[in-house]
Amino acid sequence: MRNPVILAHKTIIRRQWVEALLTQAAGYGMATVAIAAVLATAVYAASTALNPTQRTRPPVVALGLLTAIAGAGAAKLAQAEADSDWAYYRSLRDETALIVANAARLESEQTWGLNAQGLAGVSGGVSVPGDEPLQWFNWQDLADADQHPVLALVGGMGAGKTRLAKYIARHVLGRPGEAIDAIAFDLYADNAAWEGFRCIYDHGQMVRQMAMDLELLSNRAAAYRQGQRDFTPVFRAFDESKFSIPQIRKLGKAEAQTLESWQDQYGSVTRKIRARVCYLNTSLTADALGMSADDRGDVTIIFPGEKGIAKAMQDSRMLKLGTRANGPLRQQLTAALSQIPEGARPALVFHDGRWFPAAVPQLDEHGNPPGVAVGVSPRAITTHDDEPWERLERLLTVDAVRPATPRPESKLNKLVDYIAQNGPIPRRKLLQNWAGNNGIKAATLDAMLETLTTAQTVVVTSEGYKMGHYNT
C-alpha cells in the first residue's frame, strides 16, 4: 500500500523515534554528569580532610555542588522532554495504524476506483467518517489572480514541479492556442525540461530581465487604467529561488532593490494584467517564496506527488501540518487522497489558511493532458539570443507590434548614435553622461548594451564600447 500520506507518516515516525531516543540519551548524560560531580566533590572533600597539610577550598566544593545541581536539573528537563517525545511517537504510530486500517476498509469497499469525472463532481467535499468533509481543489481556480496572486510548488527532485508548472501556464492561465510570454529563471538552465519557456540561468541576467519586467508591468498598469483588458499572459517560473534570491541580493544594493520591487509587483498590481509568478523549490521557507511569514496567506502553495506531500506532512514550523494538533487534519487528508482515481497523482494545496486534497491529472512531458496537444508559440520559445531588438523594445513599449530594428525616435537608437559619436566610451561615462540625461536606469542601460553587443552593433574593447566593425 503506497498511499503517499501513509508513506509520509512513516517517515515522520522514524524521525520522531530518533529525536526521542537522542533526547533521552541526553537526559541520561546529564544525570551521569550530576552523579560524577557529586562523587568528585565528595572525594575531594574527604581527601583534603584526611590530609592535615591540605585545606578544603570552599569555592571548589561549591562549584562541584553547583555542577551537580545543574546536571540534575538538566537531566530532569531532558527526561520530561523525552517522555513527551515518546508519547508523541506512540500517538503517531497509533494514528498511522488507524489510517492504514481506514485505507484498507475503503479499498475493500472499492472506493479507490473512482474515475476522474466522478472525482471532479465531488464539489461538496469528500466524506470522511466522523469529520467535516474536505473540498477538492479545482486547478482552474488558479486563473483567478485576485485569489491566487502568487503560486509556489514545493517538493523533492522528481516530484513533478516543472511539469505541473507548464500545465498551469498553458491550460489554466492561458487560453487554448494563446501565446504566452513564459520565462524560467533556472540556475541549471534545463532548456529540455522547460520546453516552451526561455531559460535564464545567470543571476545578473535574471536581474536585468526583472528590470525589463518592471517596465512591462508599469506600462500594462497604465494601459489597464485606460481601459485595456486583453493582455498576453506573462508567466515567470523561478526555479530554486531559495538559492538564487540570496545570491541576487549579494550582487549589490541596486540589484537587491530591483529584486524586491519585482517581487512586490508580482504580488500586487499584476493581479489585473495577467502577469503571474510561480516559485519552485525543494524546501519550504518563507524567503524562498519571496515573502515574510505574515504574508503566507497570499501564496498558494502546491505540494505535488509523494515527495511534495512528504514535505508538507513533515513541516511543523511554517504551515504546521506536521504538528500534533493537526493530527485529525492529516487523517482527513489521508482519507481523501486515498480516493485519487487511477492514473492521477496526489497533491496537497495550501491556500488562505486552508488545506485541500488535489488530484494532478495525467500530464505528458510538455505539461499537456492526454489527447490535448498545444502548439508552442514562437514567442514562448524565443531564445535569449534571438531577435535582440524585439526583446529590448519591451523596455519602452508594451503589447505593440515591435519592429525588427529600433524606431528612429527610440532611446535605443539614440544610444547607438551616442556611441558612434563618442566611442570608445566606458560604461561609467555612458551611465553618467548619456543615461542620466535620458532618464535611463543602470539596469536598463546594461540590458540595452547587452542587446547591442549581442546584435554585434556595438563591441566591447579595453577602452569601452564602440561601434561594430561592419558599422564603422
CATH number among 3.90.480.10, 3.40.920.10, 3.40.50.300, 3.40.1190.20, domain 139-360: 3.40.50.300
User: Is residue 222 pLDDT above 80, yes or no?
Assistant: yes
Cα within 13 Å of Cα(203), Cβ side: 16
The residues, any chain, with a CB within 8 Å of residue 205's CB and separated by 6 or more, are 384
Query: Residue 315 corresponds to which amino acid?
Result: D
321 contacts 355 by C-beta, under 8 angstroms: yes
- Locate 446 and state its grid cell: 546594461
Give the pLDDT score at 52: 59
Place of cell 469525472: 117
User: Is residue 394 pLDDT above 70, yes or no?
Assistant: no
Give the pLDDT score at 127: 38
Same topology, domains 139-360 and 388-471? Answer is no
Boundaries of every domain in the chain: 4-109, 139-360, 388-471
Give the pLDDT score at 100: 61
Q: Give the separation between CA 399 and CA 85, rounded to whole angstroms.
A: 59
Q: Give the separation between CA 346 and CA 362, rounded to whole angstroms.
A: 11
The C-alpha R_g of the chain, in whole angstroms, comes to: 30
Strand ranges (E), 352-457: 354-360
Average pLDDT over residues 376-393: 40
- Say if domain 388-471 classifies as CATH 1.10.10.10: yes
Give the pLDDT score at 135: 82
Give the pLDDT score at 12: 75
Q: Give the separation between CA 454 and CA 443, rounded to whole angstroms.
A: 16
Mean pLDDT score across all residues of the chain: 75
- Locate 191 and state its grid cell: 532548456
Task: Give the confidence band of 361 by pLDDT, cuts at 50, 70, 90.
Answer: confident
H/E element holding 27? helix 4-50
Give the residue from 255, 275, 259 showing the smallest Cα distance to 399.
275
Q: What is the pLDDT of residues 68-93, one digit of tens each?
A: 888 888 888 888 888 777 777 777 67
pTM of the model: 0.56
Angle, nearest 10°, between helix axes 4-50 and 58-108? 160
